[in-house]
Structure 1
Amino acid sequence: MKKKDKSEIKKNTRGASFKENRESINIKALMNMDLGTLKVKFSKSFKRINKISTPEKKRKVIAFDMGSSMIKIVEGIYYKEDLTIDRYITIKTPKGAIVDGEIKKSEELFIKLGQVLKENGIKAKHAICTNNSTLIINREILIPKVEEEEMDTVVRYEIQQYLPINLEDYILQVQLLNEEEINGSEKLNVRVIAYPEKIVRGYYDFFIKLNLKPHALDVNYNAINKFINCIDNNSEYEYNPKDSVAFIDMGASFIDVNIYKNRNLDFTRMIKAGGNDIDEILLERNGIKADEIENFKFKNIDLEEPFEPINIYVREIVDDWIEKIEKIIQFYKNKNMGDEVTNIVIFGGSSKLKGIEEYMTTKLGIKTRRKVLSKIAFKSNDDSKPIDDFINVIGSVIRL
């Protein structure tokens, strides 16, 4: 079997641009999922995303990482490979306002974010959003090698064989990964992402209500991919980017395991677990007040300390996370004929637990480190706070 590597095939990982004209609001025309230059057309089809993009205008954007527990916001500009971030904002998500990536309480969220934008004097009008959801479907499939104009029909047919979904309810995007020759027949290996239309519509309408211009909708693993290529590209690697490296976002409700190889996404899975599991234990067993939990976790919990009861409780939770992460990594290894994950990079709220890097390294047998983001890697006009938690949202600002 002959295979052309991804690096031989030009492609773009940019983000799905929302169409700003609301006059014919076929939502399938609004989303370019940060995977291409897509100005998605009004149709049931998709655009291939491995094309060279046209130059973007220089524009300041306001970008949101919409989590179920926290929302991270940055204001900045990405232009001609030059990234400037002017502002970093973190706010608590109103309870139940965002569930599994979907806006559930639009009015509460509108009041909260409207107030935050006003208080911080945000002037940018073009809005970018990044998130993740178990409802977003990500699959690699093999299709016959066909001409570009036939891709729509072929991929839609093939994906329907793989996934028992109503394609009318999803926006499809496809990314060419490589070309293969199997038994003398040429095939295309593509990644197909199906994004629920109702989630896209929810964010589009929400940003319009905030008097913002919806510009792009991203997915977190793609935002991280751009971060790796454009930010980490200028820093010293503690790992070889040609190796398989897992970037693990340890959020409140979900742990996202994203494996990259040769600076490209190779595999992604979500675990329904996260920092909220620890919060519940602290509320139940220690009576910690809800508004004090975050501070308590990072000051008092130490995974390397063996005897304190609270550390024992938390270790049991973390052990469950690690077991699930290990299964994902093993599945990846089996799927890729023994391809080993050589390093793990963790970030997000729970990555700040004392001793977690050493604990995960010991348990998994894979070097694990927490991602520390230096402002030296790009221009930053706000030096007042650490920015390690802003990886997803900074990546979403980058338009390739």
Structure 2
Amino acid sequence: MMLPGKNNLIGVDIGSYSVKVVSLVGAEGSYTLAGAALFRLPSEGGEAAPVTPPFLSGILQAKRIKGRRAAALMNGPSLIFKHLKLPIMPEKDLKEAVRWEVRKDLAIAVSPTDLILDYMSAAKAAKPGDNTVSIVAFAAVRSDVERTIALFRDAGLELRVLEVVPSALLFSFNINNAWEPGVNYAMLDIGETKSTLAIFKDKRLSFTREIGMGGADFTKCLASGLGKPEEDAEDYKIAFGLIAEDNDEDKAKKLLTQAVERLCTEVQRSFDYFQAQFREGSVAKLFISGGSSRLKGIEAVISRMIAVPIFKDDPLRSIQIPKAFDRTELAEIAPCLTVAVGLAARKS
């Protein structure tokens, strides 16, 4: 969803564990990194505290990220994704049809004026004589969107673009990869409390699914199985991941492996559904991103469970990096920046 204004320069990805910020200058094919940051959210009663305007503005000041125009994620408890198959119709009628279908799935009654909606044309169902169009719709109630706008305004930023994770992943993928005609690519962004799967083809979003499983679930599984506090389990997860150094750690490795395998099962089910529903062929490559994609050994487990070539995403690989940046630090946080890079590349 675009808001009136000039091109944005700052992509801000506010997650449940951390805030990621990326600033780019230039244009597609010649982007240069102007700023990048990852800040963990402060803890409040054992939970991550909500982002405040001073915290957000402080990140930009600490990293000397200049500019006021920003792109962010549409989020909040009301956010939903919905796949629709509708008859081909004029754009104006299609928008109203999508709005009607989305409203039917909301848990609360929402008037048409209180629903913020956007959608993208996706892959077409491959059936002869099929006069329908496949749509991926995103919607949230106005109050959730207005809270996000207010947060950025109070932090001294002009929010010009609101996107969702699947489209941000598409924009990041687009500036970093060469597209092969007719090939299906997938990205799995593994966050703290959820993971987002997106499938692309010919520079379009074909399918998306939000999976209610992420890094926090890996930690809880480990803590429960070992009988340890979650803080200790988190420290182990970060230090060793899925690679056991000796027999004492073998149980931990098995617990983490089982947790990742459950996520893989959901991804495979999504691939099977996509192929059966749209008959667009199988996924050729899977790219993983997000904080939990940095888990040591996770690629080997996913590759074993899903018979698709796996790649850890580096959203900065096609972006020029000035000498002033610490490349070692950037390499460490790069998998976490995929969504923020996509937001920064989204011009209004």
Bin the TM-score by the shorter chain. 0.7 to 0.9
1:308-319 matched pairs, under 5 angstroms: 308-319=250-261
Q: Residue 118 of structure 1 is aligned with which of 53, 58, 61?
A: 61
CA contact (8 A) 1:303 1:315 kept: no
Question: What is the match of residue 13 of structure 1?
Answer: none
Distance 2:202 2:73 in 1: 23
Q: Residue 89 of structure 1 is aligned with which of 37, 49, 66?
A: 37
CA contact (8 A) 1:64 1:130 kept: yes
Question: What is the match of residue 128 of structure 1?
Answer: 71
Q: Structure 1: which amino acid aligns with 2:3?
A: F
Question: What is the match of residue 138 of structure 2?
Answer: 193
Q: Structure 2: which amino acid aligns with 1:69?
A: Y
Q: Name the SS of the counterpart of 2:239 in structure 1.
A: helix
Distance 1:153 1:253 in 2: 33
CA contact (8 A) 1:78 1:397 kept: no
TM-score under structure 1 length normalisation: 0.72
CA contact (8 A) 1:130 1:219 kept: yes
Distance 1:185 1:301 in 2: 47
Question: What is the match of residue 371 of structure 1?
Answer: 313
CA contact (8 A) 2:86 2:132 kept: yes
Distance 1:301 1:160 in 2: 42
Distance 1:354 1:322 in 2: 16
**C-alpha displacement of 1:84:** 2.3
Question: What is the match of residue 273 of structure 1?
Answer: 213
Q: Structure 2: which amino acid aligns with 1:88?
A: A
Q: Name the SS of the counterpart of 2:52 in structure 1.
A: helix
Judged with a 3 Å threshold, the aligned counterparts in structure 2 of structure 1 residues 144 and 363 are, in CA distance, closer, same or farther, namely closer
**C-alpha displacement of 1:163:** 6.5
Q: Deviations over 1:47-82 (max 9, x none)?
A: xxxxxxxxx65x6x2221110011101223344654
Q: Structure 2: which amino acid aligns with 1:202?
A: R
Distance 1:90 1:351 in 2: 15
User: Which one has a larger percent helix, Structure 1 or Structure 2?
Assistant: 2
Q: Deviations over 1:21-65 (max 9, x none)?
A: xxxxxxxxxxxxxxxxxxxxxxxxxxxxxxxxxxx65x6x22211
Distance 2:102 2:188 in 1: 28
Q: Structure 2: which amino acid aligns with 1:265?
A: L
Q: Name the SS of the counterpart of 2:299 in structure 1.
A: helix
Question: What is the match of residue 152 of structure 2?
Answer: 207
Judged with a 3 Å threshold, the aligned counterparts in structure 2 of structure 1 residues 136 and 79 are, in CA distance, closer, same or farther, namely same
CA contact (8 A) 2:10 2:343 kept: no
Q: Name the SS of the counterpart of 2:152 in structure 1.
A: helix
Q: Structure 1: which amino acid aligns with 2:79?
A: I
Q: Structure 1 vs Structure 2: percent identity of aligned residues?
A: 20
Q: Name the SS of the counterpart of 1:358 in structure 2.
A: helix
Question: What is the match of residue 264 of structure 1?
Answer: 204
TM-score under structure 2 length normalisation: 0.81
1:47-196 matched pairs, under 5 angstroms: 61-79=9-27, 82-95=30-43, 109-130=52-73, 135-157=78-100, 159=102, 166=110, 167-177=112-122, 186-196=131-141
Q: Name the SS of the counterpart of 2:279 in structure 1.
A: coil
CA-based RMSD of the aligned residues comes to 3.4
Gaps of 5+ in 1: 1-15, 21-55
Gaps of 5+ in 2: none
CA contact (8 A) 2:294 2:335 kept: no
**C-alpha displacement of 1:160:** 5.0
> Taking CA–CA contacts closer than 8 Å with sequence separation of 6 or more, which of the two structures ends up with the larger relative contact order?
2
1:270-309 matched pairs, under 5 angstroms: 270-283=210-223, 285=226, 287=228, 290=231, 296-303=236-243, 308-309=250-251
Judged with a 3 Å threshold, the aligned counterparts in structure 2 of structure 1 residues 210 and 184 are, in CA distance, closer, same or farther, namely same
Question: What is the match of residue 295 of structure 2?
Answer: 353
Q: Residue 271 of structure 2 is aligned with which of 316, 329, 345?
A: 329
**C-alpha displacement of 1:122:** 3.1
Q: Structure 2: which amino acid aligns with 1:72?
A: K
Q: How many residues align?
A: 335
Distance 1:356 1:181 in 2: 34
Is the deviation greater in 183-192 or in 383-392? Answer: 183-192
Distance 1:182 1:334 in 2: 12
Q: Name the SS of the counterpart of 2:31 in structure 1.
A: strand
